[in-house]
Amino acid sequence: MLTTKEGDNRHLAFRSFISRNTSINSRKMKTILSVFLLSITLQTAVAQSSGKASHEQAKCGADSGQVAGKYTDHYYARYRQFADEPPVTSKDIVMLGNSLTENGGDWSARLGRKHVINRGIIGDEVMGVYDRLHQILPGEPAQLFLLIGVNDVSHDLTADSIAGMIRMTVERIRRESPGTKLYLQSLLPINESFGRYKRMTGKTDTIPAINAKLRALAKEKKITYVDLFPRFIEKGTNILRKELTNDGLHLNEEGYAIWVKRLKRVW
């Protein structure tokens, strides 16, 4: 459930974001506010009904196939699994994100590094990740690789809205675990021709727009930006290469090999 401290953290971050972005027009601000309030409302409702809610927003994202207000058993199980695992320590490297991260499986084996832990959850969104940070940041991990946002794209949010929520997440990580080396990864492209995820229709060009804002954010905050996007697109387009995916969104082993190769270059 959302603890008092977590709720306070989110409200403080949100107020800070609003105060820095007074130039955002009213329509965009209403969109951001609606996402924020929806997250708080849904988490409170689930906590009251079950007593063991996850730190997740409503799952109607690209890779969940759910409607607003529904939560998967998998999300609950994954969240409880993290709570039952040994706490994150300063030796750990955290891979944090959604299905793209979770489906990577054993990242220690992939990267050939010890102490790499997988904190991805299928269907997660930016504010879901934000609300799970309390399971990670007290341990002050050595490094954290963040990749999140594609499920938020499926909600018809603007690039500004999504980048704004990622900014809140980055700022919280920097504030609560300043010794952690943070890597902000670009969103990966999609391929709409598979027709698998209807809510992603027409969203191909939204992703590079978000990535441009993430690059600027990384520069502003002096954190490492890992630009995965160019390695996954068909030449001259913003489209995910067909040979790297089975559904137009998730990666196959060839796709993960490209991702891993890029990550190894940042060490």
pLDDT in tens, 33-61: 555 555 554 444 434 333 333 333 333 45
Give me the helices (H) in 52-141, please: 73-84, 99-102, 107-111, 126-132
Q: What is the mean pLDDT of each run of 10 residues along the chain (267 residues)?
A: 52 54 55 54 41 38 49 88 98 99 98 98 96 98 99 95 99 99 99 97 98 99 98 98 98 99 94
CA distance 77 to 39: 19
The C-alpha angle with vertex 224 and arms to 218 and 230, in degrees rounded to 5, equals 85
C-alpha dihedral, 36 to 172 to 26 to 42, nearest 10°:
0
CA distance 26 to 33: 10
Q: What is the per-residue pLDDT for 230?
A: 98
How far is it, in rounded angstroms, from Cα 50 to Cα 70?
13
73-264 folds as Rossmann fold (3.40.50)
Q: How far is the CA of 71 from the CAs of 108, 110, 149, in angstroms? A: 29, 30, 18
Residue 76, pLDDT score: 87
pLDDT score recorded for residue 267: 81
pLDDT in tens, 225-243: 999 999 999 999 999 999 9
* DSSP bridge partners of 147: 97
Q: Give me the phi and psi of 237, to 5 degrees please.
A: -135, 180
Q: Helices (H), strands (E): how many in the chain? A: 10, 5
Tokens coding 100:
């793209």
At residue 265, the 3 state secondary structure works out as coil
**For residue 145, what are the contacts with CB-CB under 8 A and spacing of at least 6?**
93, 94, 95, 96, 97, 183, 185, 226, 263
- Residue 197 has a pLDDT of 96
What letter represents residue 90's amino acid?
S
Residue 68's nearest CA partner among 147, 125, 133 is 125
Joined together, the tokens standing for residue 257 give 């090999």
The DSSP element (H or E) to which 158 belongs, if any, is none
Give the span between the Cα atoms of 94 and 40, in whole angstroms. Answer: 25
**The predicted structure's pLDDT at residue 29:** 57
Name which of 103, 98, 15, 8 is nearest 57 in CA terms.
98
pLDDT at residue number 26 = 56
DSSP state of 17: H
